[in-house]
Amino acid sequence: MSLVVFPFKEEQLEVVARNLEVAAGHDRVDEVWAVAAAEGKAMANVARIADEVAAATGTPVDVFVQERIGVFRSGKGDGMNTALARSAERGSARTHFYDADITNFDSGWIDGAEDAADRGYGVVRHRFPRAATDAMITWMVTRPGLAIRFPGTLLPRLGQPLGGELLLTGPAVEALAGNPKVRARSDWGIDTAITHATACLELGLYEHYAPDGKRHALYGSLTDIREMVLECLDVVASLEEAPPKGSDFDADPPAPVPDDLKRAVAYDVASTRESISEAPDPAEREILESLGVDPGSPIDMDGERWLRILPDLLEQFDLGNPAWRSAVFRLWVERVIHYTLHQVPLGYDAAIGYLESTIRDFELRG
């Protein structure tokens, strides 16, 4: 039997309730945990819902607050590490993690992961279609960064290395609970740290395809995920051990992408452009110039330029330096906007095909 974990902060209660019901009502699940980012009203509301779900399904649904474990900004990573430590202590055979804000979560996610684990895979990750302008950290930072640092391994081939939807068998949970790099990432870097660590374990990794996509609230300005892009770049830059080449890895075949996802717009270009309209200060100007970028001219961040600059960002980025944080966010936004204006109008399939080709380019660069 399995444990299902939902880290949460302040999600829509009806979405959280439905997700808890799906997990608790599944015949392969014997317990559900909801790990709160902090005590307060949100936690109290979810605890009330959890009691109702437990009474209706007969499956225990436990709600508790995350512990302070990592050394970075306290966030989702502390929640996941809290659950990993508790799961390892109790010896759970299988532990699922899902984001609490998925609006189309259903039993198929659990079924797909359990089926792959039944076939002997020690780690099962979920991948899914995304809007052409969604997943811009994955496409512009995480996947290319992993391709540069670990070419020829399974890491550049993973569809959602930044995703938090996965199943871990007991040995994987025990390894992660004792992994210093994983425990340190109390922030948004946790998902990538777990992806890297599990790829190195040689327990077998499988990607299950959720054909309807991962539906969740999209963004206004990309400033909504400013902290995430910085922390994800930082964690990729920190990774050292290369997974063995030829590791046991397989994945479900792709399926047709839902039409509404092909039409979806994931962020607002105008408000995002406005977020970087202020001229860089002297410290940021110096960084931009060191990267070969003229801060006094429009930045045309096409694929070739990003291919040249990203390796330097991985080598030099300083998460604690405000000027570096501002420079990286500015450059990433310019890259995303360039892609949005030049590749997305060519159509969904062409845009995604272009993004996949960039990963191959970064892998050759590595």
Of 233, 256, 279, the one marking the end of a domain is 256
**Do 128 and 213 meet the contact criterion of CB atoms below 8 Å apart?**
yes
293 and 237 co-located in one domain: no
CA 316 to CA 324: how far, in whole Å? 9
Query: Which CATH number characterizes residue 22's domain?
Result: 3.90.550.10
CA 134 to CA 336: how far, in whole Å? 10
The full 3-state SS of 289-334, as one line of letters, equals HHCCCCCCCCCCCCHHHHHHHHHHHHHHCCCCCHHHHHHHHHHHHH
Exposure string (b/e) for 95-127, b if CB count within 10 Å is 16 or more? bbbbbbbbebbeeebbebbbebbeeebbbbbbb
Q: What is the mean pLDDT of residues 164-187?
A: 97
57 and 136 co-located in one domain: yes
Q: In terms of pLDDT, which residue wins out, 260 or 320?
A: 320
pLDDT band with cut points at 50, 70 and 90 for residue 219: confident
Q: What is the mean pLDDT of residues 183-209?
A: 97
Half-sphere exposure for 114 (CA within 13 Å, toward CB): 15
119 and 222 co-located in one domain: yes
282 and 242 co-located in one domain: no
155 and 7 co-located in one domain: yes
Q: What is the mean pLDDT of residues 333-349?
A: 97
Q: Using alpha carbons, list the distances in angstroms from residue 334 to 88, 99, 290, 319.
A: 42, 28, 17, 19
The pLDDT value recorded for residue 216 is 67
Q: What is the mean pLDDT of residues 194-208?
A: 96
pLDDT band with cut points at 50, 70 and 90 for residue 20: very high
156 and 298 co-located in one domain: no
111 and 252 co-located in one domain: yes
Q: What is the mean pLDDT of residues 10-34?
A: 96
270 and 181 co-located in one domain: no
235 and 178 co-located in one domain: yes
Instruction: State pTM to two decimals.
Output: 0.95
Of 194, 227, 256, the one marking the end of a domain is 256
The pLDDT value recorded for residue 266 is 87
pLDDT tens per residue across span 72-112: 999 999 999 999 999 999 999 999 999 999 999 999 999 99
Assess whether pLDDT exceeds 80 at residue 218: no
Of 256, 290, 312, the one marking the end of a domain is 256
Q: Using alpha carbons, list the distances in angstroms from residue 362 to 148, 234, 240, 357.
A: 5, 18, 17, 9
Render 94-147 in DSSP notation, one character per residue. Answer: EEEE--TT-TT--HHHHHHHHHHHHTT-SEEEEE----TTS-HHIIIIIHHHHH
Based on C-alpha coordinates, what's the Rg of the chain?
20
Q: What is the mean pLDDT of residues 117-133?
A: 95
Number of structural domains found in the chain: 2
27 and 55 co-located in one domain: yes
- Report the SS3 class of residue 205: strand
pLDDT band with cut points at 50, 70 and 90 for residue 217: low
CA 134 to CA 225: how far, in whole Å? 11
Q: What are phi and psi of 8, to 5 degrees?
A: -150, 160
Q: Which domain holds residue 280?
A: 262-365
The pLDDT value recorded for residue 76 is 96
> Among residues of the chain, what percentage have pLDDT more than 70?
99
185 and 285 co-located in one domain: no
235 and 317 co-located in one domain: no
